[in-house]
């Protein structure tokens, strides 16, 4: 039976997109926390050994989700955004193929069938290279270690860990970076 003429399919909820990303990462061997502190600072945190990835999800608003990913880049080895629209995902990947946003992964969550990686997330720093966020990532990894060991409660406010460092970019606030700015 087909939908009535003029009927539009329901736009997926953000929680459906996050669930698809979670299944995708768990299938790849990651331990995954969804909205880990209940305050929506991180949509999804994924860990596999010492590798930490962050995923930001949006049903609409590609610029907003990209800005969120860039602001959170200090805490993960990589960051990806997952969108509900295939067209929006391809447009975002094309528009950010160069510059500071190029390492951000771009994913498309297909309704009920999984995730398509439009552009793979890349690490912010090359192994052995200069990494201005190494200390912050190590601190975040220690928090994940404590969570896994049960020495801190699952409900710890994660934004408290990251709030105290606003200028990890070398003196400029995260919001001050232009999305088209070339890499340093």
Residue extents of the structural domains in the chain:
14-166
Which pLDDT score, from 0 to 100, does residue 63 have? 82
Please name the helix (run of DSSP H) or strand (run of DSSP E) that holds residue 54, with its range, or none. strand 51-58
Residue among 76, 169, 182 nearest 124 (CA)? 76
User: What is the residue-level pLDDT of the chain in tens, covering all 184 positions?
Assistant: 444 554 456 677 888 888 999 999 999 999 998 876 566 678 899 999 989 999 998 888 778 888 888 888 888 999 999 999 899 999 999 999 988 889 999 999 987 678 999 999 999 887 777 888 888 888 888 888 988 888 877 777 665 555 544 444 444 444 443 333 344 4
Q: Rounded to the nearest 5°, which phi and psi values hold at 18? A: -60, -40
DSSP string, 98-123: SSTTTTSEEEEEETTTEEEEEE----
Which pLDDT score, from 0 to 100, does residue 30 have? 97
CATH architecture of the domain covering 14-166: 3-Layer(aba) Sandwich (3.40)
Which pLDDT score, from 0 to 100, does residue 122 have? 93
Please give the model's pTM, rounded to 2 decimal places.
Answer: 0.78
Which pLDDT score, from 0 to 100, does residue 159 have? 59
Residues 6+ apart with CB under 8 A from 30: 46, 47, 48, 53
Q: Rounded to the nearest 5°, which phi and psi values hold at 31? A: -85, 135
* Contact present, 141 and 50 (Cβ < 8 Å): yes
Instruction: State the number of CA atoms in the 13 A half-sphere of 16 facing the CB.
Output: 14
Which pLDDT score, from 0 to 100, does residue 182 have? 40
């Amino acid at each position: 039976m087909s939908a009535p003429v003029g009927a539009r399919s329901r736009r997926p909820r953000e929680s459906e997109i996050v669930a698809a990303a979670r299944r995708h990462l768990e299938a790849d061997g990651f331990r995954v926390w969804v909205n880990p502190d209940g305050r929506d600072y991180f949509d999804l945190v994924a860990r596999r050994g010492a590798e930490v990835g962050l995923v930001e999800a949006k049903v609409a608003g590609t610029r907003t989700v990209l800005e969120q990913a860039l602001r959170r880049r200090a805490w993960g080895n990589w960051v990806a955004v997952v969108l509900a629209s295939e067209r929006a995902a391809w447009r975002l990947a094309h528009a950010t193929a160069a510059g500071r946003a190029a390492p951000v992964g771009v994913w498309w969550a297909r309704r009920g069938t999984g995730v398509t990686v439009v552009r793979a997330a890349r690490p912010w720093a090359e192994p052995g290279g200069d990494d201005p966020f190494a200390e912050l990532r190590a601190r975040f990894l220690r928090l994940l270690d404590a969570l896994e060991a049960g020495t801190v409660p699952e409900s710890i406010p994660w934004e408290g860990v990251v709030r105290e460092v606003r200028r990890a970019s070398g003196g400029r606030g995260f919001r001050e970076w232009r999305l088209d700015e070339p890499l340093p």
